[in-house]
Chain A
Amino acid sequence: MQLIVNIVVLTSIYALVSCGYVLIYRVSRVLNLAHGELMMVGAYLLLVTAGYVTNPMVAIPLAAILSLTMGALVYLLLMRRMTGESVLAAILTTIALGILLRGLIVIFFSAAHQYPSVPLGLHSSSIQILPGARISTLSLVLVLVTAAVYGSLFAALRLSRWGLRMRAAGQNPLLAAQRGINLHFIYALVWGIAMFTGSVAGMLISLDAGLDQTLVLIGLKAFPAALVGGLDSLLGALVGSLIVAAAEVLLIQYVNPLLADVVPFLILIAMLVLRPWGLFGTREALDRV
């Protein structure tokens, strides 16, 4: 039973991180390789808000709102200028942004390992949820938040007017613009939501395990999950995360823990060879890359 809980928690982490990759790619066709850094910045924003407000019910939403705003600003101040440029230029811009953010984080926050949970007075205890299976309270929150985020995104994309516009912008931006959809607003909104979801993942991980620059690498580990599922499919991100997480947990338990680091990328390579557009992605979308 503990293995199932472990798989669910790891799936939730990867799914919450990877949905940011998918959202941005699906709507704007940009592969955001700074997503790990943006996720880390979101977690550091929590450190900042926790320095001013010690009530977690205020500090966490405040940091999440700041993340949403910052994501939109990244688009408006930087990525917007890549409009009309080659896909490669946009990807390289995100790489440069990631390097810049890593440098700025060290300058402003140092390289020390920090604990946002300490000023917030949060302590992650554990609870038994199934016979022989325990979960930490923060991991449980992470699972619930992931479910809420995916539920909201599925509903919003399918049922709301803004969701329809986002899908339209992703499918045919020229036609969408001709129909009066403000593409820049849609893209800014999507960048904001992507950073919001990544930041929430970063915040919950850092509340549980502390915060330093290695959080970027966790963001990178979620990337194979997004690609395995299909870069333009939210359902794919969820399934890809489940596949990668299950492979990791089972290998750690039954084969060799060392394989946990390698297998996500082996699955990714296998998927790229057999079905480059991913399990739920569309062939047309990847042809553009």
Chain B
Amino acid sequence: MRPFIALLAATALAPVTALAQEAYRVGLSGALTGPAAGSYAPAIEGLQLYIERLNAAGGIDGRPVELIVLDDTGEPSRGATNSRRLLGQERVSLMINASLSSTFAPMIADAQRAGVPLLFASSACPAEVYPPAQPLLYCSTAFAARYDSRATLDFVQEQAGTDIDLGLVAMAIPLSRGEIEAAEGLARERGMRPQAPTIVPPPTADYTPFATSIQQAGADWVYAWAPWVTQVRTVEALRRLGWEGNYIAWGHIEAEGELARLRDANLYAIGANSLFSENLPVHQDIRAAAAGSTYPADQMAEGWIAGMVVEAALRAAGWPADGAAVNAAMQGLNVDTQGLRGGPIQFTADNHFRATQYYRVYRWNGEAVEVVRDWQAYSVE
């Protein structure tokens, strides 16, 4: 509890903290508070810890990185205010969005006006970062519209063939609905029998009515691509109704802890991040940095990866690092994720998402979370 108060205080004071003039200045607008904060605040803390560690190790060529973090509570108006402040007053050379997609439009417009690159980190990757990418917009977040559903349906097909009734679950937000509606089309193309998507509103007191509709439609498998709370509450409600089918959900930052909590062998999580149970050196680094932090280390991978991208971009840009220099550097970036992902994050002039997206599938095997299918690569074209 106390570290979080310190974190908030540091966040509030960060913009007025006078770091050395020669610091690289990076600004972040994210949902630190508000209803959606649970999905973003852990990643933001992970990024802060990465930058602290980087600075403690001497920064970049002796210059520290100043990370200015502003809370937008997931509201577009605050996102707009924050981006103007970061660009106008704080004069950052790289801006980061870690918030709901409703905050994207004003930040994109401001970043493009100012010629400063905007990195989406832990927030959904907007269509503009995929080939052919728009200038100045980049994304390091794990999930990827269309590719996630392709990979998921490939896995389902491997496991059960195509003679299945497939339930589909989304949250009533444009991104989630769009992906699940695309999955419905993909499933039909493969010869599966997809149900009409079950769209669950964000504030839902009881998920059982939604689960009843899926169960009574006779789903063998259910695919959910939505914020974690919608995915997991729906499968819990299905289980309480006695449904024994297979359920595959996107492996958000909460997945590792939740798979262990639910202990359901027929619940699969597909994701692009490795789990901390693998205990790679990078996982150990994150655990060490996160000691005493507000959020668990296993929810910080997205923020840590964003930190890797920021460091690589600033190193490649050199000094002085204005927006144009950082943008030029990011167009040829190749970031070694040290095992946090299945491969590197590579940006090109035309592709600001990554050249290859890797997926793994996990589930609880009765004793621990196990890898059901190892990294599978998908070229992003």
> Which residue on chain A has the smallest CB distance to residue B3?
A110
B228-270: which residues lie under 8 A (CB-CB) from chain A?
228-229, 233, 236, 239-242, 254, 261
Number of inter-chain CB pairs below 8 Å: 122
User: B-facing mask of A104-115, CB < 8 A → 1, else 0?
Assistant: 001111111101
Q: Check if A93 is an interface residue, CB within 8 A of chain B.
A: no
Name the segment of A60-68, A147-155, A208-216, A271-279 touching the other chain. Answer: A208-216
CB atoms of B233 and A209 under 8 A apart: yes
Stretch touching chain B among A173-181, A248-256, A280-288: A248-256
Asked if A13 and B212 make an inter-chain contact with CB atoms under 8 angstroms apart, the answer reads: no
Within 8 Å CB of A125, what residues of B? Answer: 240
**B1 contacts chain A at the CB level, 8 A cutoff:** yes
* Interface pick from B35-43, B313-321, B359-367: B35-43
Chain A residue numbers with a CB within 8 Å of B42 are: 112
CA distance A261 to B239 in the complex (A): 24
A221 at the interface (CB under 8 A from B): yes
A54 interface residue per 8 A CB criterion? no
Majority-rule SS of A interface residues = helix
B38 x A257 contact (CB < 8 A): no
Q: Name the one of B41, B200, B209 contacting A10, with C-beta atoms under 8 angstroms.
A: B209
User: Do B201 and A261 have beta carbons less than 8 Å apart?
Assistant: yes
B224 nearest CB across to chain A (Å): 13
Interface centre among A110, A260, A261 (most CB of B within 10 A): A110
B379 to chain A, nearest CB (A): 35
Q: Does B199 contact A (CB under 8 A)?
A: yes
B198 contacts across to A, CB distance below 8 A: 257
A92 contacts partner chain B, Cβ-Cβ < 8 Å: no
Interface residue? A182 (CB, 8 A): no
* Given known A-B contacts A107-B4, A113-B38, A213-B37, A218 and B242 have beta carbons under 8 A apart: no
**A120 lies within 8 A of chain B by Cβ:** no
Q: Does B172 contact A (CB under 8 A)?
A: yes
Partner of B38, one of A111, A126, A216: A111
A81 to chain B, nearest CB (A): 27
Which residues of chain A are near B228, meaning CB under 8 Å? Answer: 113
CA of A185 to CA of B42, assembled, Å: 44
- Check A3 for interface membership: any CB of B closer than 8 A: yes
Question: CB distance B210 to A209 under 8 Å?
Answer: no
B1 touches A108 (CB 8 A): yes
Could you say which of B1, B199, B208 contacts A257, with CB atoms under 8 Å apart?
B199
Complex Cα spacing A207 to B295, Å: 21
Are B241 and A13 in contact (CB-based, < 8 A)?
no
The winner among B205, B229, B233, B295 for most chain A CB atoms within 10 A is: B205
Return chain A residues, CB-CB under 8 Å to B233.
209
A14-B205, A106-B32, A108-B4 are known; give 8 further A-B pairs, CB within 8 A.
Answer: A111-B33, A112-B295, A113-B254, A126-B241, A214-B35, A248-B209, A257-B201, A257-B213
Interface residues of B (CB under 8 A from A): 1, 4-5, 8, 32-35, 37-38, 41-42, 172, 198-210, 212-213, 216, 228-229, 233, 236, 239-242, 254, 261, 294-296, 299
- Can you list 21 residue pairs at the A/B interface with Cβ under 8 Å? A2-B212, A10-B205, A13-B205, A107-B8, A108-B1, A109-B1, A110-B4, A111-B41, A112-B41, A115-B261, A124-B240, A135-B240, A213-B35, A213-B38, A217-B35, A217-B203, A218-B203, A249-B209, A258-B172, A260-B201, A260-B209
Give the 8 A-B CB pairs with smallest separation, nearest first: A217-B203, A111-B37, A261-B201, A126-B240, A252-B209, A106-B33, A249-B209, A111-B38
